[in-house]
Amino acid sequence: MKVFIEKQNKKVNLTFRGTGEELIKKLKYNSEEVLVIKNGELVALDEKLSNKDDIKIISVISGG
Amino acid sequence: MKCKLCLNNAVIDSPSYCKKHFLKYVEKTVSQTIKKYDLLKKTDKICVAVSGGKDSITLLYILKKLDYDVEALAIDEGIAGYRDKTLDFLKKFCKTYNIKLIIKSFEKEIGKRLDKIVKTGTSACTICGTFRRSLLNKYTNSYDKIATGHNLDDEAQAVLMNLLKAQKSLYARQGPKTEKRKGFTQKIKPLYFLKEKEIMIYSILMGFDVPFTECPYAKDSFRAYVRDELNLLETQKPGTKKNIILKYLENKDTGKNKLNLSFCSLCGEPCAEKICNSCRIRQTLGLIV
């Protein structure tokens, strides 16, 4: 799975199968602070993700 | 997960709504807050204090959509690589939605960019906040209200920060609107009951394409620490942020929220002392005598 982490401007390749919430935990983020974009679409955290998906983790917190 | 109102897929877990119902929920929450706390009249001329971030952009858009008379005021503090990006975005956004945008800069109004002030070793957030509030009030005399994009997260953080610092006078001054006081344009917070995450989702679903930016000075602030702790608590005990706000509003004692105000002998802006905080800091920095 290709994962782009916006806050760190970093791309990672992962072998992962599970929900958006589980991916956030694996990456050690807090679900209050990030959102999951799956193949260009915003998804709820219980959405199942597979290795074929293109994932973007975007930060909720911005500004000052 | 399905939307709790239709058969479409949910875009958010709690409350579980699809795109259409989530957008409606956000706009309805803003309308209800305005109505419940008597924040606006249809005839009010409103200045929206904008940073170019998701909160102020969402607020500007929704107030315009609700047919209020809005203009936008942005403060350019002079933070390289941060504010210039958000101002570019803001100019495009206001042009698209036909909203008048006014920009005032620290460099012109105060005498120095924030980047240069910070080099003198002064704390960025305190200085920046003081100057921003001062300029915001100075340039909004002709408006009935100043609307700011403060959200539920900001407000819950502020309650905790003031408690942790035992600042009782500030604690009493929070809420969805400030009291009407001579010399001050009344401030309102129509996004008071929306979580930061909900506003982010709204701005994504609306396709606002707000650039991701973080103020380089905000990382080590006290607020950032409180925010991280509160977010941790919210994931373990969902609803914590809203409960803080609701309990705060229940306990708020507006009767004790009275300051003896005078006017600054140097700039004429309202303040609690002989000289306002903004002029005091500018004196310290050698920007005025």
Assess whether pLDDT exceeds 90 at residue B197.
yes
Mind listing the pLDDT tens digit for each residue in B142-193?
999 999 999 999 999 999 998 888 776 666 678 999 888 888 899 999 999 9
DSSP class of residue B149 equals -
Note whether residue B44 is domain-resident. Answer: yes
Mind listing the pLDDT tens digit for each residue in B96-106?
999 999 999 99
State the pLDDT confidence band at B255, using cuts at 50, 70 and 90: low
B chain contacts of residue A63, beta-carbon cutoff 8 Å: 51, 53-55, 213-215, 218
Minimal Cα distance from A46: which residue of B?
A: B1
* Alpha-carbon separation of residue A14 from A55, B12, B28, B75 (angstroms): 10, 24, 40, 42
Number of domain units in chain B: 2
Closest CA to B262 of B206, B183, B198: B183
DSSP class of residue B194 equals S
Query: Which residues lie across from A36 on neighbouring strands?
Result: A43, A57
Characterise B6 by phi-psi region: left (phi > 0), alpha (psi -120 to 50), beta (else): beta
Least Cα separation, residue B120 to chain A (angstroms):
21
Query: Which residues lie across from A11 on neighbouring strands?
Result: A4
Mind listing the pLDDT tens digit for each residue in B74-97?
999 999 888 888 899 999 999 999
Of B9, B215, B228, the CB nearest to A64: B215
Q: Say if residues A37 and A58 touch (Cβ distance below 8 Å).
A: yes
Residues B187 and B243 in one domain: yes
Structure tokens at B111: 């005498």
Cβ-based neighbours of B177, under 8 Å, separated by 6 or more: B37, B38, B39, B186, B187, B188, B189
Where along chain A do its domains lie? 2-59
Which of B231, B232, B236, B240 is best to mutate for the A interface (most A CBs within 10 A)?
Answer: B231
The residue behind tokens 């239709």 is B6
Closest CA to B74 of B87, B85, B84: B87
Residues B39 and B175 in one domain: yes
Residues B164 and B93 in one domain: yes
Mind listing the pLDDT tens digit for each residue in A8-42?
889 999 999 999 999 999 999 999 999 999 999 99
ipTM exceeding cut-off 0.90 for this assembly: yes
A46 part of contact set with chain B, CB < 8 Å: yes
Cβ-based neighbours of B266, under 8 Å, separated by 6 or more: B275, B276, B279, B288
At B89 the pLDDT is 93
Note whether residue B3 is domain-resident. Answer: no
Note whether residue B216 is domain-resident. Answer: no
Residues B131 and B56 in one domain: yes
Residues B149 and B76 in one domain: yes
Residues B247 and B264 in one domain: no
Which of B3, B4, B11 is best to mutate for the A interface (most A CBs within 10 A)?
Answer: B11
Q: What is the CA radius of gyration of chain B?
A: 19
The residue behind tokens 């700039």 is B267
Q: What per-residue string of b and e applies to B116-135 under the rule 16 or more CB within 10 Å gives b? A: ebbeeeeebbebbebbbbbb
CB contact under 8 A, B12 and A44: yes
Q: How far apart are CA B203 and CA B60, in angstroms?
A: 11
Q: Say if residues A9 and A23 touch (Cβ distance below 8 Å).
A: no
Domain A2-59 CATH (choose: 3.10.20.30, 3.90.1300.10, 1.20.140.10, 3.40.50.300)? 3.10.20.30
Assess whether pLDDT exceeds 60 at residue A64.
no
Assess whether pLDDT exceeds 80 at residue B123.
no
Residues B92 and B194 in one domain: yes
Structure tokens at A22: 């589980």
Which CATH number is B170's domain given? 3.40.50.620
Note whether residue B277 is domain-resident. Answer: yes
The mean pLDDT value of chain B amounts to 90
Residues B162 and B265 in one domain: no
Interface of A with B in 5-34 (CB under 8 A): 6-7, 30-33
* Average confidence (pLDDT) over B270-282: 89
* Average confidence (pLDDT) over B18-39: 97
Query: Which residues lie across from A10 on neighbouring strands?
Result: A5
Cβ-based neighbours of B214, under 8 Å, separated by 6 or more: A61, A62, A63, A64, B82
B chain contacts of residue A38, beta-carbon cutoff 8 Å: none
Structural domain of B121: 26-209+221-257
At B259 the pLDDT is 62
At B54 the pLDDT is 93
